[in-house]
Structure 1
Amino acid sequence: MSPSGPRGERLRVVAIADTDSYVKWAASLLGGLDGRWDASVLVLSTPVAVSEAQLASALRGSGLPRDRVERVEYAGLAARLRDLRADAVVLAARGPLVRVLARDVAALSPRPVIATGLPGISIPATRKAVVYRLQSDLFVVHSRRELREFGALSARTGYTHRYALATLPFARSRPGRRAAAEGTDLVFATQAKVPADRADRLRIARMLVRAAEADPGRRVVVKLRAATGEHQTHVEQDGYPELLASLGPLPPNLVTSTAAMGDALDAAEGLVTVSSTAAIEAIARGVPVIALDTFGVSPRLINETLADADLLGSEDDVVARRFRHPDPEWLDDNYFHPPHADDWEDRLAQLVSLRRADALAPRAPFARRGGALRDAWERKTALGADDASAAGAVAYAIGMPLRTVVRMLQRSRRALRWARSAPVAPLAERHVRLPS
């Protein structure tokens, strides 16, 4: 593959991202590209777009300078991509928004190569992740296991993708074992949706208080994803500041932090999480980890990969700071393959060459009913107030009542199926009074 395009010009790749985790992923992914690429990031205005503080945190250590990042409104996105003459566009966003943006990018002439991916641990591979991204030419994953499992999912469902491997960009170093004296904090990596129940999250808050009380000379740091008023990729209910405040006076060594995860890990003795990708960042730095086993292991908790690494630990392990390093045999298959195994950059360059030769066939989106009205509905629900189109307003006005009816029907059908499938107790076990 030539190191650049025709006449030695650099290949132009632009990422579009909005939320904290996706901006961090996109900036780090593009910041690690070699010299054949001219890379930049467009931060799209959406209801959950990063604040300036979150953006600064996401860019720290990414390799992408701040002057290569700009904010853009949805209404001006297509024109900006034409101005940048993008050869490739990396869609770094939640699935519903990727589906909308892929349609828009595919309509450009000439059409850029469309790449996409997920910003962290993506096991289990899910049908939704694949379907939302069907119109992309390249789907980036971050471990040999993810490559295998997404490939198997595509084979089962028929929703085929071109998958490519890239080292998780903020975990590029090979893991070792850092000296314990290099850090003293117990860092807890919060997650917006794991665990989901308030009672479970309150249990974690109580555990963190216990850990702080057990060792008053060392800090317990609750690493938050966002400050008050800032948004995250996923909407968080029952945030830890509120849960901790509900427990009364707190130990002075129990603190919250919105600093960059890298800064938090610099001062960490160990990291605690349920299933945050921060565990992979910690391992890359040689920081030991506890993946909390209180709620079990399941696809819903996104912690099967960490369980396979032998990182599970109990609440008592957390309080006692009995951190763990991963099983060495786990590393190569899970996020720490050798750099030469990465092929996403070369595969993207090859697709750009095909595109410039007008030999790259466009990919069809997921087929669904509704036509232009459905497109407008999806755009409005993904962008909210940032979609100011009349079509979006009409689609929303029509679609919201319809969605309510459809969801009611779906719930009724599920309830009916459950009732039909539920075992019927023998007559003697039914507490029914028979007539005498």
Structure 2
Amino acid sequence: MRPPRALLIAAYDSQLKWCSPLRTELAERGFVCEAVAPSDLKSALSQSQIADAGFDRVDLRPWDRIVTDAAASDVVVVALAGPIVQRLCHDLAAHLEETSEVGPVLVSGWVGIIIEKITAGYLDRACTDVVAVNSGADLAHFAEVGEAIGIGSDNLVLTGLPFLSRQPASPRAQRPPRTVLWADQPTVPAAPRERRHVYDRLIAYAQDHPDRTVLLKPRHRPGEDTFHRMKHHPEDVLQGVPTPDNFAIVYDPITQLLEDTDLLLTVSSTACLEALDRGLDVALVADLGIHERYGNHVFLDSGLLRTFEQVDADDIGTMSDSFRHSYFEGRDRPPAQVVADRVEKLLASGERPSRAVWETSYVRGVWAARDAVAAGGPTRRGPLWRRVPAAGRRRVVRVSGDARRIVRRALPL
């Protein structure tokens, strides 16, 4: 009897990082795990990003083969963006209809704190068997949405982020801090002048506290890419700007940097949860204001929002009970273990909650409308998830750098 197969699909480093603990947990249970990235969709994974996520390799494969490989797997961890998760479900449904196979257990989730498109993102992932939810607040919202439109909530599982532990460690940070780490974000803030303001305040902090080490951790190295593309890299913004000896830009993995960090600063990076998980102090800098474009509106109840003036004065907040409960409590096992337990249960029973979702009026309508839009005509009769022939239709996709090529394929929207 062959061992069960797990296919993990990611296109960016944050998605691969989300897959890593799930891969480890599944491998410990006897699954043969394989990581792949779509070669004909937008993606960016450098060798250093792959290594930093704990993988030896990630194979590039065309979309059609990924769908075929997914159908032949026992479990598929889909760490892609929401619309691409739904597209995989759409294409897999068509493949399984043709082959009459039961198909894999599909797992999806969010690679970080959800700061936008909370409802749309859930509905894109609702067509999978296990929807791994990061917080109690998110779970309540998703369940309400699912019930409202008739797709139910049987596939929702409160897990927490896979790279977090079951509950945060006791406070261990040195006060006042000796090492301060800024977790940079690719597009927050987006404006170059706002980014320069943030970096200038960090440099001023380092100058005012010469006994402290201040580290700026960019989201990626120059020339690399992430899901949210950075237009104004710190090295470009600070080129020619004098900095004190106790200030440095570093590229070590965030998990390594947190080992020697006392205080993590950021605007709204998910790294704040990793820091809290390790018992570190966290300050979510709100000098630019509290706004959806910064993503810090979701931290209003965290107790961690601070100004640079407060940070300078070592006026650091503590995590609120409500925030702690939402992101860290209410579960008795590590997140990856919760997901793997649910996967094994579904494999043993043969249940696939997603199939009932695929047959709901809402999903059938959405898939039919997308097929019609893709075909440029009215919805056809018959199964609503069938691919629409793309005779003569052309699609432009990014392949590498500035290169472009035309691919004639039946790729649903």
TM-score by length of 1: 0.75
Report the structure number with the largest CA radius of gyration: 1
> Shift in Å at residue 259 of structure 1?
1.1
- Give the counterpart of 1:92 among 62, 79, 89: 79
CA gap of 1:146–1:216, structure 2 versus 1, over 3 A, is same
> Shift in Å at residue 77 of structure 1?
2.4
CA contact (8 A) 1:308 1:330 kept: yes
Show the counterpart of 1:291.
284
CA gap of 1:209–1:183, structure 2 versus 1, over 3 A, is closer
CA gap of 1:96–1:384, structure 2 versus 1, over 3 A, is farther
Show the counterpart of 1:259.
252
Q: Unmatched 5+ residue regions in structure 1?
A: 1-6, 60-65, 400-436
CA contact (8 A) 1:30 1:39 kept: no
How many Å separate the matches in 2 of 1:269 and 1:157?
46
Moved more, 12-21 or 285-294: 12-21
> Shift in Å at residue 194 of structure 1?
2.0
Matched, 1:28 2:46: no
Q: Unmatched 5+ residue regions in structure 2?
A: 377-386
How many Å separate the matches in 2 of 1:297 and 1:125?
17
How many Å separate the matches in 1 of 2:190 and 2:219?
16
CA contact (8 A) 1:32 1:169 kept: no
Matched, 1:385 2:409: no
Show the counterpart of 1:200.
194
> Shift in Å at residue 298 of structure 1?
3.8
RMSD (CA atoms): 3.4
- Give the counterpart of 2:301 among 302, 305, 308: 308
The within-5 A match list for 1:310-389 is 310-340=303-333, 343-355=338-350, 361=356, 363=358, 365=363, 366-367=366-367, 368-371=369-372, 373=375, 380=395, 384-385=398-399, 389=407
Query: Residue deviations 1:204-225, cap 9 Å, x none?
Result: 1111111111122322111112
CA gap of 1:39–1:324, structure 2 versus 1, over 3 A, is farther
- Which amino acid in 1 is paired with 2:290? V
How many Å separate the matches in 1 of 2:258 and 2:333?
27
- Give the counterpart of 2:265 among 269, 272, 287: 272
SS of residue paired to 1:14: strand
Show the counterpart of 1:72.
60
CA contact (8 A) 1:143 1:334 kept: yes
- Which amino acid in 2 is paired with 1:208? L
- Give the counterpart of 1:122 among 114, 121, 142: 114
TM-score by length of 2: 0.79
- Give the counterpart of 2:228 among 231, 234, 258: 234
- Which amino acid in 1 is paired with 2:66? L
CA contact (8 A) 1:331 1:337 kept: no
Query: Residue deviations 1:354-385, cap 9 Å, x none?
Result: 4479995472553324445477899956x633
- Give the counterpart of 1:213 among 180, 204, 207: 207
CA gap of 1:124–1:217, structure 2 versus 1, over 3 A, is same
SS of residue paired to 1:385: strand
CA gap of 1:10–1:320, structure 2 versus 1, over 3 A, is farther
CA contact (8 A) 1:124 1:299 kept: yes
CA gap of 1:42–1:103, structure 2 versus 1, over 3 A, is farther
Higher helix share: 1
> Shift in Å at residue 260 of structure 1?
0.6
How many Å separate the matches in 2 of 1:392 and 1:359?
23
